[in-house]
Structure 1
Amino acid sequence: MIRTKNITGIILAGGKSSRMGTDKGLLEINQKPFVTHIADALQPLVSEIMIVSDNSKYDVFGYRRILDVFKDSGPLDGVYSGLKASKTEYNLVLSCDIPLIKTIVLKQLIDSIDATNDVFQIESNGKTMPLVALYKKTCFRTFQELLVNHEKRLQFAVNQCKVKNIKLKHRYDHTITNVNTKQEFKLLNYEH
């Protein structure tokens, strides 16, 4: 059993949010910012929470904020920057646009840790979720090499590591809902 002191929570909040038109992690559902919902789900499982973002508005949450190392390189850089700054072997990495995430889903990732794999990612409805995943810190070396060579595709980078997919039980599918557009945000607020 991996103990929580060996896990860091990394929230990626560095996206351009071009479809939403505003910083997604700061949007609110039930009077709480997305980032707070995500941090609440991470809290029981990790020793530290970090937010990867160049936006100083995230400092209000009181977590360590990490800047992107490779600017404009998308989520791959976000994961890399978080892993590089992490002090623990295992790291739960989440995008800032999944406010319905639950601790029980993240615990499934921790429970699936084995000696063979480097990345443990959620699979839901046949889709893999590299931004609802547990990464070994050592992945950052592989990602660094790719970023230096101008690779920006996160899924491509993840596939260079040993990956284990964790099938999500259908009753939890809603917990990993991405909110990318104003319409999806409206729908989310309407349903909750």
Structure 2
Amino acid sequence: MQKNITGIILAGGKSSRMGTDKGTILLNDITFTQHIINNLAPIVDEIIIVSDNENYDQFGVKRIPDNVKNYGPVAAVYTGLKASKTAYSIIVSCDSPKVDLDVFKPLLAHRNNKYDIVQYICNSRTTPLTALYNRKCLGIFKLALKNKIQKLRFVIKQLDDKTIPAPDEIKDKIVNINTPKDLERYNIC
């Protein structure tokens, strides 16, 4: 499989609804973050974790702090894309431990310089935190931060996107686990 892709894991959230750092929660004795790393590794050239938390150094991949503090996913995506050395990056939130090659393949199949982002639509919602980004959209993120825009979905509307329906077999793999109830609902704990 052609690479020229960076895997970027966003792990900078406050995890206030979960009550503990989501990226280090265990699933089958492996942290959420390690599950994502294991599934990204075969298809990317490098993995970057965007987090100010030094605990993420334990994963043995490059960790970079947010360039713009307290600005949520807009700043995190910008930071990750800026650090990436490749034309494309798969961005995954650390609270999506069930992502795997079946999730990434359809995104990669639509890799095309025409699109800034390839994302899914699932249950009427797009998935910009499980998506393929083209590095050329970096300027739009930089402008959004300059204009103090914090809503990721607003920034995504400025991009040339390819939004594809999530196949039924991956819908439960692209969910975000945000609360203890989510852990129970998705039979993760």
Aligned 1:173-184 pairs, distance under 5 A: 173-184=171-182
- Match of residue 136, structure 2, among 128, 132, 138: 138
Deviation, 1:113, is 1.4
1:126 corresponds to 2:97: no
Aligned 1:81-160 pairs, distance under 5 A: 81-160=79-158
Q: What per-residue deviation string (whole Å, max 9, x for no partner) do you get for residues 15-64 of structure 1? A: 01110111100001100000011111111110000000000000000010
Deviation, 1:172, is 1.3
SS at match of 1:138: helix
TM-score normalised by the chain length of structure 2: 0.96
C-alpha contact (below 8 Å) 1:45/1:107 kept by paired residues: no
Residue matched to 1:48: 46
Amino acid at match of 1:141: G
TM-score normalised by the chain length of structure 1: 0.94
Question: 2:113 and 2:133 mapped to 1: Cα distance?
Answer: 13
Q: What per-residue deviation string (whole Å, max 9, x for no partner) do you get for residues 91-133 of structure 1? A: 0000000111111211110111123211101111221000010
Question: 1:28 and 1:165 mapped to 2: Cα distance?
Answer: 31
How many residues are treated as equivalent by the alignment? 189
Amino acid at match of 1:109: L
C-alpha contact (below 8 Å) 1:9/1:42 kept by paired residues: yes
RMSD of the alignment, in Å?
1.3
Aligned 1:27-46 pairs, distance under 5 A: 27-46=25-44
C-alpha contact (below 8 Å) 2:113/2:134 kept by paired residues: no
Alpha-carbon spacing, 1:191–1:182, altered in 2? closer, same or farther (3 Å): closer
Question: 2:7 and 2:109 mapped to 1: Cα distance?
Answer: 16
SS at match of 2:52: coil
Amino acid at match of 1:170: D
- Which runs of 5 or more structure 2 residues have no equivalent in the other structure? none
SS at match of 2:63: strand
C-alpha contact (below 8 Å) 1:10/1:51 kept by paired residues: yes
Identity rate, percent: 44
Question: 1:80 and 1:140 mapped to 2: Cα distance?
Answer: 6
Question: 2:122 and 2:185 mapped to 1: Cα distance?
Answer: 20
SS at match of 2:150: coil
Residue matched to 1:3: 2
SS at match of 1:70: coil
Amino acid at match of 1:3: Q
Question: 2:165 and 2:6 mapped to 1: Cα distance?
Answer: 22
SS at match of 1:131: strand
